[in-house]
Amino acid sequence: MSAFYHLCFVVQDIQRATEDLTRVLGVTWSRVRTGKLGEWEYSIVFSVEGPPFFEVIQGAAGSPWDAAAGSRFDHIGYWSRDVTTDKQQLAARGAPIEFDSCPYGRSFTYHRLDSIGARVELVDLAAQEGFLGTWAPEAPTMPVLDLDGPTAEP
């Protein structure tokens, strides 16, 4: 099994969710940031501790992070050396693409696994340096998903 680098919760109230995780589990957080993907605005934060990290996202209605039906565990995140190839392999293995950010100029995909009620996220390895610089400057370089063997180091 390849090492995942984060677990994500999609929430209705990012402030409440992070406060609860801090109070209950002692998680500490980077600062909350805002972003926009296509027409959707969102707020996002990662834990300071990691890897693996906690990610919490609050997104707009209709977005990939819509929590209108309630806050939830959403996905497990992996780095991918080749998102195009890996997304095709995951789909062929029974994890269909639920959302592909490539048309929005980004390089991540969400794949649905109905049996666990969550998704798998693939994120382009090229984004890892920026991730570390933004969220976790002291964290080590993280491994990539290896669909054909043991965890591979970037």
Instruction: Check residue 136 and give its pLDDT.
Output: 93
The pLDDT tens digits for 35-92 are: 999 999 999 999 999 999 999 999 999 999 999 999 999 999 999 999 999 999 999 9
Instruction: Check residue 101 and give its pLDDT.
Output: 96
> What residue segments make up the domains of the chain, in order of their start?
6-135
Task: Return the closest-CA partner of residue 85 out of 145, 133, 15, 150.
Answer: 145
The pLDDT tens digits for 47-63 are: 999 999 999 999 999 99
Q: Residue ranges of the alpha helices (H) in the chain? A: 14-25, 83-92, 128-135
As a CATH number, domain 6-135 is 3.10.180.10
pLDDT, greater one: 29 or 150: 29
